[in-house]
Chain A
Amino acid sequence: MSASQQLTPTNPNSALKIRLAYRFLLTLNTLNAKKPPNFDHTQIHRRSHRVKIAAYASMASVVGPKRAWSRAILWKIRNRGMLARNKKRIHRISTPIRLHRHHARRRRNPNRVVHVDPFVNSGLEVKLRKLVPGAETIDPCGLLDETADYIKYLATQVEVMRNLVDLYSTI
């Protein structure tokens, strides 16, 4: 039987795919159990947003707290209610609070010189920091490492989702 032969995959990528797919399906299942079947146009947009959040959440929870990007994703998802509420407040009282927190962080690590820029092009580095979650305060070496890891998991997650869409559309 081909199923029993494939239980020990030699390719590590397929093992990762199976883990991601399993986690994603679990999350989707709990999503489906909660929502009432509405066919509004607004509900469609909200449902696709929930599927997207489920994808990122399952991807991050497979990795766990080992990586900065997964921690950032999990934190953002858990606190997205609070973040949405604070976004309205931050526009009014933005800069003084941010400066205070920035100074507090500097006082804790006086030896850490973060502004040494081995990249000739700091514009790209800033863009990369914005794209990879949780990468705003990492040193440049760690940033590249996180980016590589993030890309690997994200590409596998995209593959899993693509396979799912193909399978669902043929059923």
Chain B
Amino acid sequence: MSNRRSRSRQMGVSRINDDQIADLVSKLQQIIPHNIHATCSNKVSASRVLQETCTYIRSLHREVDDLSERLSELLQSTDTNSAEAAIIRSLFM
């Protein structure tokens, strides 16, 4: 990928950038949880995808905060050794 970039700087940056950006935007679109608006998914604009990405990242951050709060409360009230062993076992099953 670095070779492609150095070659593109000599030819013209904008041409290669458009293709790469279209690929990456479609990849982002697949990762973000699908909403109802994705009926005509070819025509979803890059700005819409970026907007959804931003909101999705913000919601993920908020969830991490919330979950870490709950986890800290729960950790306080349980004995870690027995619980951890049970969890690791159940994660592998």
- Return chain A residues, CB-CB under 8 Å to B70: 165
> Closest Cβ of chain A: how far from B89's Cβ, in Å?
7
- Return chain A residues, CB-CB under 8 Å to B68: 48-49, 51-52, 55, 161
Which stretch of A75-83, A91-99, A114-122 is in the interface? A114-122
CB distance B80 to A29 under 8 Å?
Answer: yes
CB distance A151 to B74 under 8 Å?
Answer: no
Total contacting residues, chain B, CB less than 8 A: 49
CB distance B14 to A118 under 8 Å?
Answer: yes
Flag whether A141 is at the interface (Cβ < 8 A). Answer: yes
CB distance B71 to A157 under 8 Å?
Answer: no
CB distance A151 to B67 under 8 Å?
Answer: no
- Chain B proximity mask over A1-26: 1 for CB below 8 Å, otherwise 0: 01100110000000001100110010
CB distance A6 to B24 under 8 Å?
Answer: no
CB distance A161 to B64 under 8 Å?
Answer: yes
Interface residues in A137-169 (C-beta closer than 8 Å to B): 140-141, 144-145, 147-148, 150-152, 154-155, 157-158, 161-165, 167-169
Flag whether B13 is at the interface (Cβ < 8 A). Answer: yes
Interface residues in A63-115 (C-beta closer than 8 Å to B): 111, 113
CB distance B71 to A171 under 8 Å?
Answer: no
Interface residues in A37-69 (C-beta closer than 8 Å to B): 37, 39, 44, 47-52, 55-56
* Contact A18-B83, Cβ < 8 Å, known A121-B47, A131-B58: no
Of A2, A17, A116, A140, the residue contacting B93 (CB under 8 A) is A2
CA distance A17 to B90 in the complex (A): 13
* Contact A28-B50, Cβ < 8 Å, known A151-B60, A158-B67: no
CB distance B32 to A171 under 8 Å?
Answer: no
A-B contact pairs, 8 of them (CB 8 A): A32-B75, A32-B80, A37-B76, A121-B50, A131-B57, A161-B71, A165-B74, A169-B74
Given contacts A25-B84, A47-B72, A48-B68, 11 further A-B contacts (CB under 8 A): A47-B76, A48-B73, A51-B68, A51-B75, A52-B68, A119-B21, A124-B47, A128-B54, A128-B57, A144-B27, A161-B71
